[in-house]
Amino acid sequence: MAENMQASRPADDGWTTVIRPRSGWFDINLKELWQYRDLTLMFVKRNFTVLYKQTILGPAWILLNPLITTLIFNVVFGNMAGMPTDGVPGFLFYMAGNTVWTFFANCVNNTANTFVTNSQVFGKVYFPRLTMPVSQVLTSLINFLIQVAMYLLFWLYFFATGAEVRFTLWTLAVPLVMLQVMLLGLGVGIIVSSLTTKYRDLAIAVGFGVQLWMYASPVVYPLSMLDESPRLKVLVELNPMTAPIEVFRAATLGTGSVSAGAIVYSVAFTVVALVLGVVLFSRIEKTFMDTV
């Protein structure tokens, strides 16, 4: 079947493309994935079209969702609960954390149903299956860049009004950290996607699980607030999303608790999740059509 094959180029038989059975645990042809980059971009365009088709505000929701969420966080956790924000304006504090978290959550949620939602396409034509989840995280990346632009506009406003915010040298690390967040979301997402082929209720649980994960991340509270609870702080630091959020705040607000150990741990967790996800994805795509 087409889903059990991969393309290769033999030297002497005259064929331009030969489809052969795949074997091995880590059987992802990155060169082939690059050859299908136009298809990946087409999927990215399709994602935007499908998501905002027949909507009143269209792509404006890219900005409205984080803006409304930030306002709610500011009222509930800032004004009502009185949580500290490390001396920076609460609105910017919550928007910084929410922007990074939304990027990660979108990567996970949008890739978690790759096999189930594309089963009909997978059964009809051959193409590198990994182009589907990759296109989803690229779509999330575009949304993230738009949201960062909005965040910077608010940052300029608060800076102009005398708020104690500043860019630091951590700004140079932000692109690499965001790449890590994207790869972490891709890894976790394709792990869930692979497991949903056998356990369909995971597709329902993933949204709830991501929401719970957010409260285990320093999105609505600073990591420094946990200094008096060492055990709880250690648990939060075991969250691989803690370091990226803290780095983004340290880069753009001049606040946050960032350590080299936390960054190394987060990167190592990302590598493990991505490798495990690719292995599971590679194995599941070979037998997927027999399970649907």
pLDDT value of residue 282: 77
CA dist 35 and 187 (Å) reads: 21
DSSP state of 57: S
| pLDDT tens profile 73-109 | 999 998 888 888 888 999 999 999 999 999 999 999 8
Instruction: Enter the pTM of the model.
Output: 0.85
Residues of the chain with pLDDT under 50: 1-12, 289-292
Report pLDDT digits (tens) over 3-23. 444 444 444 455 556 555 555
Chain length of the chain: 292
**The pLDDT of residue 289:** 46
pLDDT of residue 274: 93
- Locate tokens 């649907």: which residue? 292
In angstroms, the CA 59 to CA 233 distance is: 38
Residue at 194: amino acid letter:
S
Q: b/e string for 48-82 if b means 16 or more Cβ within 10 A?
A: eeeeeeeeeeeeeebeeebbebbeebbeebbeeee
- Give me the percent of the chain exceeding a pLDDT of 90: 40
